[in-house]
Amino acid sequence: MPLLKICGLTRIEDALAARGADMLGVVLEPSSPRVGSLTLLRDIKSEVKVPAVAVRVSGSLEEMFDLARDADYLQIHRVLTNDELEALSSYEKRKILYVPADLKFLNYLKNACERGDLVLVDSPSKTSATDLKVAAVMLSECSKAGLAGGIGLDNLDSYLKLQPYFLDVSRGVEISPGVKDHRKLRELIRRVKG
């Protein structure tokens, strides 16, 4: 059974409805339509008592880790330079490293798999779903790799078949950007976690 991360939360009531998931994520990227807050991140830890993930794209490593100081994980949602990958070991915070689902990133995936606590294979574009044939190859190269990119209740089974270490779902359980559908959340949790 994979771990389940639900991401893109902006409201504590949605985080509470996502109880049963293994990690809850808050996007701290100002340009995202589902940008959340540091307060929500702290409330997830104290009220929901589930590991909280801060998701960030922009800024230096130092800025990102500083922003994520109250989170359990920092998810860095961009491709890092070689220098940045090497510098990761100087930060104690647990890290989730995004890798685009594209075979040209296979070497990067191996590097990220060595340096991250978890790796997230996700669609290279926020408007499309992950190519599952590509994802299958990439998951076979990294045992701690999770899968994201357009997962919803209608296509969940095809993602589950790949047996990722974890599944990460955001858009697929939304009513509108940042607002979750509690019925969909409950069904997702039941089908993934049993």
Ligand X SMILES: O=C(O)c1ccccc1N[C@@H]1O[C@H](COP(=O)(O)O)[C@@H](O)[C@H]1O
Asked if 14 touches ligand X (CB under 6 A), the answer is no
Asked if 150 touches ligand X (CB under 6 A), the answer is yes
Asked if 156 touches ligand X (CB under 6 A), the answer is no
From the list 57, 137, 153, 160, which residue makes contact with ligand X (rule: CB under 6 A)? 57
Nearest C-alpha neighbor of 118 from the set 52, 165, 86, 169: 165
Q: Which stretch, 13-21, 28-36, 61-69, 101-109, contacts ligand X (CB under 6 A)? A: 28-36
- Pairing state between β 3-6 and 166-169: parallel
From the list 7, 54, 145, 188, which residue makes contact with ligand X (rule: CB under 6 A)? 7
Measured between alpha carbons, how far is 123 from 100 in angstroms, rounded to an integer?
6
Binding pattern for the stretch 125-144 against ligand X, x by CB under 6 A and - elsewhere:
-x------------------
Asked if 8 touches ligand X (CB under 6 A), the answer is yes
Q: Please answer whether residues 75 and 82 qualify as being in contact, where contact means their C-beta atoms are separated by less than 8 angstroms.
A: no
Asked if 179 touches ligand X (CB under 6 A), the answer is no
From the list 4, 15, 18, 25, which residue makes contact with ligand X (rule: CB under 6 A)? 25
Residue 68 in tokens? 């994520």
Q: Packing angle between helix 132-139 and helix 106-115, nearest 10 degrees?
A: 50
- For tokens 């940045």, the residue is 84
Q: Which is nearer to ligand X, 2 or 172 (CB)?
A: 172
- Helix, strand, coil content of the chain in percent (nearest 5): 40, 25, 40
Site for ligand X in 61-120 (CB under 6 A): 77
Asked if 170 touches ligand X (CB under 6 A), the answer is yes
Residue 160 in tokens? 């589950």
Q: Which is nearer to ligand X, 126 or 133 (CB)?
A: 126
Residue 180 in tokens? 């979750």
Helix (H) or strand (E) run with residue 114 in it: helix 106-115
**By the criterion CB under 6 A, which residues form the site for ligand X?**
7-8, 25, 27, 29, 32-34, 55, 57, 77, 122, 126, 148-151, 168-172
